[in-house]
Structure 1
Amino acid sequence: MPLESLDLALRAAAIALLAVLAVSLWRDLGRQRVGRLAIALALGSAAHAATFNIGGTAAPSLALAPLIALGTADIVVLWLFCRALFDDGFVLRLPHGLIWLAVFGFSLISCLVLAPAGHARLVIVANNLLALGFLGLTLAQTIRSWSADLVEGRRHVRAFVVIAAMAYGGVNALLQIASSGSGASGLANVINAAMFLAVVGTVALMLLRVGAVDVFAPEPPQAVVPEVAIPPAADRKLVEALMRLMADERVYRQENVTIGMLASRLSIPEYRLRRLINGELGYRNFNTFLNNHRIEEAKAALADPAQAEVPVITIAMDAGFQSLGPFNRAFKAETGVTPTEYRRLRLSAA
């Protein structure tokens, strides 16, 4: 089979898989923030599959330019998807949309103006350096927050999905930079298309086996079933010891509390503490576990007439939150009202 035909077949297969994934995600997670980002990521990836050209320097046609820009801006979607996937408190805001629009616009102008003016190699290098920058942000986000997921199987699948996407994106960007100006390479495009299809196919298979809802959508704590049974006596002692750390020492107030730190304090392996918090206490996310204790302390302070003049931000910081925005969002998600409204209602009822 000629290289051009093989390249086309690999791209078509990847695009077909991405279309199936997008439809499936829309059906199961169309109303979830992370689900919509996953759909956008799939569509942007399809645009990338249809337009990438390793080593090519010819100015793209007017019809292809928007697809190339969509594929380039998909790196921003990957970054936002990663943030939403590992941070239950993440909220899409206007600046996120403006960042995506800026990358899309830069890529579109590059295709329509800079490349035809003879700056194709510069455009390729600039776009792919931009992609590598967002991949760095995505990697940092993954390292910082993926361990907060307490469900082992889901945590591993989530990490694989993000790391596989980043690995392909990094290899593609480096190939594009290294080959820029050398002329289109049929072999390089086939290799790149094969890698892309392998990543998309593996992710699709894993989601088929595990279930997109289980991987991407947060579930209520009561839906949790312990993965591994812990002996009741040992379990009770560990729960009591953990609750002493939380209630008496208030370790949740400390900055950068990690599950590894708590496991060390309890002298148990980290995986065992994950299973304890998940299976016995019903939490699927470590940050939710911490924030529950922080919010309970804040609720008590807000309802205390003696602290009626204490600023809300002071109460939030004392409870362990690092800034007011995350505190307000977590508090309203837990109570249905803002901290100020909660204080007013409780003090007026006292």
Structure 2
Amino acid sequence: MAVELQGSLVLETAIRFITVGLYLATALVVFRWRITSARIAGTLAYVSKAAHTILHFPPIMAMLGWGAPPITFMATMGTALTWLFGIELFSDNRRFDAKRLLPVLGVLVIVIAAMATPPPVARALWLLHAFTTVALMGHLLTVLMISWRDDLVDRRKFIATPVFVVTAIYSIGLGFVENVKLLMGIPREPSLINAGILLFSSLLAIVVFGQFASALFGDESEPEPLTRTQPARSQSRSELPPADMALTTALDELMRHERLYRTPGLRISDLAARLRVPEYRLRQLLNYGLGHRNFNAYISQWRIAEAKEALRDPEQVAVPISTIAIDSGFHSLAPFNRAFRGETGMTPSEYRAEAQARWNSGEERGPAE
């Protein structure tokens, strides 16, 4: 179908083609042939953003013919994929949690049903899709705010977070607009404002991930684009400068012997105060010297290590798991179970049962760490 483009449509077409190219370039930068859950989700998210840029320009969609449904499908999955990308990038979990795919699969079902059903039903499903968009982006913003305090990766905290905030605000605003249009029966129309926002978002994405991908994704083997005077990430402790070695020893003393990790609501500022060093100094040590990316995850590792020791102890076999969780520093059983499974790949009950089986068989050591 031929569509004549003139006036402002020519400018908008150019802007959108540039935006599509930038989003696809970002997808390639994010993927970079490394198979991780965050990179895969990010690649798909930026491909979907390219499709979204096309979807919201009716003149081009009218030219696509049979190519329009795949573009529509990929574009409408964008919010769910962006949510998954953000959650994976900021979670720092050692193991992928398959439960995170449930919201994505839910949106997938809505989109397929909306594209396959008659208009009256499809309209209701697209409304549900728009509400889901708002909910997922609202949740992502909440996660970003919660992780802000404990994030030890400065570039992720101060550079990547704004990218996701811009995307989330845009998606929430668009979700409300789409709801209004669906309720009032208003069709999509070209919009230079929409094109400009997407161009800004795509420029921000390619700059951030093009320059700082290795730091954001934790690729230790890749060089950092900016030089630093701090120790390299995940150095051997013997390679640390004397001042960092002394601070590491003092930190271990607080954790290993005083078990400060048991303190409810422990913050990095509290730990820095106990060590009598500035907070930024402790952040640098934990991240650039010892390789930790999140303070809460660092504390959780100490708590789980104590819990694992207790679960392996045959003299504590009658101690309830909830008691072990609370004694280790967790405020309740549910977060302990989630953290333990994320760290070990098994539930505390399974871990204890395996330890008991080893003791019963005469083995002296517990399950492999």
- TM band (smaller chain): 0.7 to 0.9
Name the aligned partner's letter for residue 145 of structure 1.
S
TM-score by length of 2: 0.74
1:274 CA drift (Å): 0.8
Whether 2:26 is the aligned partner of 1:9: answer: no
Inter-partner Cα distance in structure 1 for 2:139 and 2:170: 15
Whether contact under 8 Å (2:150, 2:294) holds in the other structure is yes
Q: Give the one of 256, 261, 268 matched to 1:247.
A: 256
Give RMSD over aligned pairs: 3.8
Q: 1:112 to 1:9 in 2, by over 3 A?
A: farther
Partner of 2:166: 164
What is the correspondence of 1:74-113 to structure 2 with a 5 Å cutoff?
74-89=78-93, 92-93=96-97, 95-113=99-117
Q: 1:282 to 1:215 in 2, by over 3 A?
A: closer
SS in 1 for 2:92: coil
Inter-partner Cα distance in structure 1 for 2:290 and 2:255: 13
**1:199-256, Cα deviation, whole Å (9 max, x unpaired):** 112211122222x232124649xx9x97548xx7875675455444423442322444
Partner of 2:238: none
- What percentage of residue pairs aligned between the two structures are identical? 27
Q: 1:332 to 1:129 in 2, by over 3 A?
A: closer
Inter-partner Cα distance in structure 2 for 1:138 and 1:215: 17
1:179 CA drift (Å): 5.3
Name the aligned partner's letter for residue 176 of structure 1.
E
Whether 2:150 is the aligned partner of 1:148: answer: yes
Q: Give the one of 288, 298, 307 matched to 2:307.
A: 298
Whether contact under 8 Å (1:83, 1:90) holds in the other structure is no
Query: Structure 1: which 5+ runs fail to align?
Result: none
Partner of 1:25: 30
Whether contact under 8 Å (1:107, 1:127) holds in the other structure is yes
Greater shift in the superposed pair: 31-40 or 259-268: 259-268
Inter-partner Cα distance in structure 1 for 2:283 and 2:102: 37
Inter-partner Cα distance in structure 1 for 2:100 and 2:313: 38
1:48 CA drift (Å): 1.3
Partner of 2:235: none
TM-score by length of 1: 0.77
What is the correspondence of 1:316-335 to structure 2 with a 5 Å cutoff?
316-321=325-330, 322-331=335-344
Whether contact under 8 Å (2:230, 2:289) holds in the other structure is no
Q: 1:36 to 1:256 in 2, by over 3 A?
A: farther
Query: Structure 2: which 5+ runs fail to align?
Result: 1-5, 232-240
1:168 CA drift (Å): 2.5
Name the aligned partner's letter for residue 10 of structure 1.
I
Inter-partner Cα distance in structure 2 for 1:123 and 1:4: 30
1:325 CA drift (Å): 3.6
SS in 2 for 1:21: helix
Whether 2:363 is the aligned partner of 1:348: answer: yes
Name the aligned partner's letter for residue 136 of structure 1.
G
What is the correspondence of 1:1-350 to structure 2 with a 5 Å cutoff?
2-29=7-34, 31-52=35-56, 64-89=68-93, 92-93=96-97, 95-113=99-117, 116-117=119-120, 125-177=127-179, 181=184, 182-186=186-190, 189-210=191-212, 212-217=213-218, 219=220, 227-228=229-230, 238-239=247-248, 242-266=251-275, 268-312=277-321, 314-321=323-330, 322-331=335-344, 338=351, 340-342=353-355, 344-345=357-358, 348-349=363-364
Greater shift in the superposed pair: 77-86 or 165-174: 165-174
**1:64-84, Cα deviation, whole Å (9 max, x unpaired):** 345334322321222221211
**1:136-185, Cα deviation, whole Å (9 max, x unpaired):** 11011111124433232233222123222213223333443455545544
1:38 CA drift (Å): 0.6
Inter-partner Cα distance in structure 2 for 1:118 and 1:86: 37
Whether contact under 8 Å (1:17, 1:204) holds in the other structure is yes
Whether contact under 8 Å (1:313, 1:324) holds in the other structure is no
SS in 2 for 1:100: helix
SS in 2 for 1:142: helix
Partner of 2:234: none
Inter-partner Cα distance in structure 1 for 2:229 and 2:168: 29
Aligned residues: 333
SS in 2 for 1:246: helix
Inter-partner Cα distance in structure 1 for 2:43 and 2:321: 38
Inter-partner Cα distance in structure 2 for 1:342 and 1:282: 29
Comparing both chains, which one has the higher relative contact order based on Cα–Cα distances under 8 Å and sequence gaps of 6 or more?
1
1:309 CA drift (Å): 3.6
Whether contact under 8 Å (1:78, 1:138) holds in the other structure is no
